């Protein structure tokens, strides 16, 4: 299957100024690739230019605006060798399920249509899906793989509409968007020269290099991490029992997207990228166990205890076999996030050294 072999290939990254997209841009540039960064406005793009000033010769910006409009990506895909599509709504706060489902579906179909019609040089497209398209919650221990689909959340949205849970609306959007992408490829197989890969990560954590000025402007998973460790707020769940889901470092998810571009066998595959299972107590225990007792919570939190193991286990087979990708430990991920938070002045740490090499910006509002 086609893959990117040119070390200086031009790669289009959508959602380039987001939590994950910014790390993808950074890693592509560090590997020597040229990057066309798709953003919704020039203001968002200027931050990327500043952040990657040392790579300015290999970074160009393209303004997309509303990605749900027909032809939004037509100019963006011209003369690129590969595409990484990360742009999609990430929220559980929607009234009508279609508020998140339709933008997700239109966005992914829009990029595929543009690649078919205007992307003559494109050889591979990698889309960011989610483990939510596979499974999101379960009361029993279960192991799932890329063969599984989260149809029950789609069915809940169809049956309950606005009364469906926020998680169901989000998960349905991920399930339906990814399915739409695979169905589009199948329908248009005779008209396209490129192939498709989907990356399915669970909760993504890690240090932040995209533009955030307050905790409120953090992306969804980072905000939950911040609220849990800084504010002792676990979003209404029992930290010893939930989420009982997978986690992964964002830098590894970024690397997985790039490996998927470059690995021939990744074409036509959906690939779970998960470092393991966790509940909030695991994150707390890890923070408390880091060298020199570096974690200083703002409020009293539960110390190390035995958690109740009710987990969804995500199969690592394809990630290991196809991508050959080794993932960071929870200790490294949590430590680097705390370094990030310390640099922004929101946690008190001592004797801490991280490996993230992030560009820190203090939060103006620590509320």
Count the Cβ atoms, other than its own, within 10 Å of residue 310. Answer: 16
pTM value is 0.91
Which one-letter DSSP state was computed for residue 323? I
Where are the domains positioned within the chain?
10-205+249-275
Instruction: Using alpha carbons, list the distances in angstroms from residue 252 to 150, 169, 269, 355.
Output: 24, 27, 18, 14
Give pLDDT tens digits for 16-42: 999 999 999 999 999 999 999 999 888
Confidence of residue 356 (pLDDT cuts 50, 70, 90): very low
Q: Is 54 exposed, middle or buried (0-12, 13-18, 19+ CB in 10 A)?
A: exposed
Confidence of residue 305 (pLDDT cuts 50, 70, 90): low
Count the Cβ atoms, other than its own, within 10 Å of residue 273. Answer: 27
Confidence of residue 214 (pLDDT cuts 50, 70, 90): confident
Confidence of residue 277 (pLDDT cuts 50, 70, 90): very high
R_g of the chain, CA atoms, integer Å: 20
* pLDDT of 73: 95
Residue closest to 359 by CA, chosen among 348, 347, 344, 345 = 344
* pLDDT of 164: 92
Selected from 3.30.365.10, 3.40.50.720, 3.40.50.2300, 3.40.50.10420, the CATH number assigned to the domain covering 10-205+249-275 reads 3.40.50.720
């Amino acid at each position: 299957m086609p893959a990117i072999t040119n070390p200086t290939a031009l790669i289009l990254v959508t959602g380039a100024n987001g939590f994950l997209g910014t790390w993808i841009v950074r890693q592509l540039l560090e590997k020597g690739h040229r990057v066309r960064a798709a953003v919704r406005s020039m203001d968002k793009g200027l931050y990327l230019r500043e952040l990657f000033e040392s790579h300015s010769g290999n970074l160009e910006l393209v303004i997309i605006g509303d990605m749900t409009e027909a032809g939004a990506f037509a100019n963006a895909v011209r003369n690129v060798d590969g595409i990484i599509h990360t742009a999609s709504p990430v929220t559980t706060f929607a009234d009508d399920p279609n508020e998140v489902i339709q933008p997700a579906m239109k966005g992914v179909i829009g990029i595929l249509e543009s690649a078919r019609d205007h992307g003559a040089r494109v050889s591979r497209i990698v889309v960011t899906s989610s483990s939510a398209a596979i499974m999101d919650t379960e009361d029993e221990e279960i192991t799932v793989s890329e063969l599984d689909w989260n149809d029950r959340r789609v069915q809940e949205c169809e049956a309950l509409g606005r009364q469906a849970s926020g998680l169901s609306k989000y998960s349905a959007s991920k399930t339906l968007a990814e399915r739409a992408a695979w169905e589009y490829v199948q329908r248009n197989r005779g008209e396209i020269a490129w192939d498709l890969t989907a990356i399915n990560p669970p909760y993504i954590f890690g240090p932040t290099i995209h533009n955030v000025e307050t905790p409120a402007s953090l992306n969804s998973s980072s905000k939950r991490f911040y609220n849990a460790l800084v504010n002792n707020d676990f979003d209404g769940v029992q930290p010893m029992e939930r989420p009982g889901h997978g986690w992964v470092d964002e830098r590894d998810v970024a690397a997985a997207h790039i490996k998927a571009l470059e690995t021939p066998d990744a074409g036509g595959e959906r690939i779970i990228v998960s470092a393991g299972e966790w509940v909030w107590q695991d994150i707390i225990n890890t923070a408390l166990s880091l060298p020199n007792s570096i974690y200083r919570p703002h409020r009293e939190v539960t110390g190390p205890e035995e958690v109740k193991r009710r987990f969804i286990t995500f199969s690592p087979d394809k990630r290991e076999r196809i991508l050959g990708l080794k993932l960071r430990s929870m200790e490294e991920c949590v430590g680097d996030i705390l370094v990030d938070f310390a640099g922004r002045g929101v946690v008190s740490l001592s004797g801490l050294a991280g490996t993230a090499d992030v560009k820190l910006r203090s939060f103006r509002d620590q509320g």
